[in-house]
Structure 1
Amino acid sequence: MSLPSHLTVTQTLRVPTDEFTLTYARSSGPGGQNVNKVETKAVLRWPVVNSPSLPEGVKERFCQQYRTRINNDGELVMNCDEYRDQPSNREAVLERLRDMLSNVARPPKTRRKTKPTKGSQRRRLAAKKERSEKKQRRRTPGRDA
């Protein structure tokens, strides 16, 4: 089973698979004796910072949100060893990358300024006045300092 030519994230965002390298290593997961013989763990390395296929905005959001997963060389390193066979681990690591990219593909909504409602302002002022009166009642009479 070979890699597709592109990793499709959205209709407009596609990352060519030749941008990242997939290597395989011996897994530490389930598999019995098979785990000691067969390289089933999939390791994906992708130089995100140098990726020509990502728009700048998406690249900045990706690097900001996943900065803990990007090494000093600007390379994203992900691995998957949850399955007992290589193709399943490869698909899982590609699916994780697709999910990460789809999280940052759409720019975040800009916040609209809102005003407090008249009712909330009234309630706030009433509570404030009540606290003030409560503290006034605590004072000893005759000491107007």
Structure 2
Amino acid sequence: MNEIELTAVRAQGSGGQNVNKVASAIHLRFDINGCSALPADAKQRLLALGDQRITTTGILVIKAQEFRTQERNRRAALERLTSLISAALVESKPRKPTRISKQVKKKRVETKRRRGQLKRVRRQVDEE
């Protein structure tokens, strides 16, 4: 848990006295490169997300402020972090290129031919 740093800050937006006085929002900072529990490929996938929440030094910053209490915001931030990490742990399968069947190609050409024929029939006839 040394890689996770939680700080309480004042939440943004309207909310009156509670928002102005109480630090209920949570800033979660997670050091991706410094995490020893994550495998190297998962770290690379996390960094490759190109997310605006990831700093240039490899620190993921999550801000949770949707709830009124600090504890619920802390839980929400940790849940978001776990979902990001679990998504990074899943290795994406390489795409296998598929071939278009002859039947599909034939059908496409046939519909194009019919469409052209229909447009030819609709043309204005020259009366000379």
TM-score (norm: length of structure 2): 0.77
Instruction: For 1:95-110, list aligned pairs within 5 A.
Output: 95-110=79-94
Contact 1:29–1:82 (CA<8 Å) still a contact in 2? Answer: no
What is residue 8 of structure 2 aligned with on the other side? Answer: 24
Count of residue correspondences: 122
Bigger mean CA deviation after superposition, 124-133 or 109-118: 124-133
Matched, 1:86 2:70: yes
What is residue 55 of structure 2 aligned with on the other side? Answer: 71
TM-score (norm: length of structure 1): 0.69
Amino acid at match of 2:100: P
Q: CA deviation at 1:50?
A: 2.3
Deviation per CA, 1:4-29, whole angstroms, max 9, x where unpaired? xxxxxxxxxxxxx2311001011124
The CA RMSD over aligned residues, in Å, is 2.7
Amino acid at match of 1:70: I
Q: CA deviation at 1:130?
A: 7.4
**5+ long unaligned stretches in structure 1:** 1-16, 134-145
**5+ long unaligned stretches in structure 2:** 118-128
Which of residues 22, 29, 33 is equivalent to 1:38? 22
